[in-house]
């Protein structure tokens, strides 16, 4: 059928993710998006809550804000790891607080995303984490997306159209990834904006048009177009028929 979005355990049970952040708006949206991706989600607003929930929820992954109202995120991590050493962690950090503290952490196979982030970016990181932890169906195989003559290697960040390598900027890459994860489905500019751009982006949907036009130049130039405009609605990525 469609794309296998929800990674799951070998036995088919859904992967469990715990989201910890003190902004309810953020945990709410994240929780819904992750659930939509096929994962089982719980949320917590602080360290104590997180530890409590983790005790019997036994998450496979934790999305953890480093700055929490009560306990330091790193201490929370220690607690979580004590209970289940296997758990993988995706940290959320403020842009300017990255440096030293996180540097050591990522060595352990965990990862981090700086706020403000785009949902696509967070999802991609989380998928990667779980995949490397062996929780994906297709195991540790490289993340390869293919739609018609288009293919994207998420790990290598390499995109090819009909075998030719295409160079993309970060935003172009994110946009294309979102399109490729939703082939044949019309996506509105608002949907795209909400997923590909950071949640604090105030701009207009006009940027989406602009980036679609960039993508077309790089991907559809001189070939059968794969990105189609659906007037008044949005855009679709479709493999060329035949």
Radius of gyration of the chain (CA): 19
Contact partner, 119, from DNA, a second copy, none, Cβ < 5-8 Å per class: a second copy
Three-state secondary-structure class, residue 129:
helix
Q: Quick one: which of 143, 141, 150, 126 has its CA closest to 226?
A: 150
Backbone angles phi and psi of 40, in degrees to 5: -95, 130
209 binds DNA (CB under 7 A): yes
Candidate ranges 44-52, 53-61, 153-161, 213-221; the one touching a second copy (CB under 8 A): 153-161
137 binds a second copy (CB under 8 A): no
Distance of CA 122 to the CA centre of its chain: 4
The torsion angle over the Cα atoms of residues 209, 210, 213 and 215, rounded to 10 degrees, is: -110
172 binds DNA (CB under 7 A): yes
Out of 12, 56, 95, 104, the only residue in the binding site for a second copy (CB under 8 A) is: 104
Contact partner, 108, from DNA, a second copy, none, Cβ < 5-8 Å per class: a second copy
Site string for a second copy, 47-86 (x = CB under 8 A): -------------------------------x--x---x-
Instruction: Judge whether 52 and 94 are in contact, CB under 8 Å.
Output: no
Binding-residue total with DNA (CB under 7 A): 23
Comparing CB distances to DNA, the nearer of 116 and 239 is: 116
Task: Report d(CA 169, CA 239) in Å as an integer.
Answer: 22
Contact partner, 172, from DNA, a second copy, none, Cβ < 5-8 Å per class: DNA
The answer to whether the bond into 116 is cis (omega within 30° of 0) is yes
From the CB of 187, what's the least distance to DNA, in Å?
12
């Amino acid at each position: 059928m469609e794309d296998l979005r929800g990674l799951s355990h070998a036995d088919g049970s859904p992967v469990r993710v715990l989201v910890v952040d003190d902004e309810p708006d953020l945990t709410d949206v994240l929780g819904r998006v992750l659930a939509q991706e096929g994962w089982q989600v719980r949320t917590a607003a602080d360290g104590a809550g997180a530890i409590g929930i983790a005790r019997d929820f036994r998450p496979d992954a934790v999305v953890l804000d480093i700055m929490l109202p009560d306990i330091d995120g790193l201490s929370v991590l220690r607690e979580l790891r004590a209970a289940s050493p296997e758990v993988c962690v995706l940290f959320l950090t403020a842009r300017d607080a990255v440096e030293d503290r996180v540097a050591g952490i990522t060595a352990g196979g965990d990862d981090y995303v700086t706020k403000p982030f785009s949902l696509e970016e967070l999802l991609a990181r989380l998928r990667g984490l779980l995949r490397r932890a062996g929780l994906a169906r297709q195991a540790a195989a490289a993340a390869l997306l293919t739609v018609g003559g288009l293919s994207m290697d998420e790990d290598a960040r390499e995109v090819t159209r009909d075998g030719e390598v295409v160079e993309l900027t970060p935003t172009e890459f994110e946009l294309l990834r979102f399109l490729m994860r939703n082939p044949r489905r019309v996506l509105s500019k608002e949907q795209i904006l909400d997923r590909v751009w950071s949640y604090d982006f105030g701009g207009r949907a006009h940027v989406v048009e602009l980036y679609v036009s960039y993508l077309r130049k790089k991907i559809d130039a001189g070939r059968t177009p794969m990105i189609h405009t659906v007037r008044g609605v949005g855009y679709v990525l479709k493999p060329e028929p035949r």
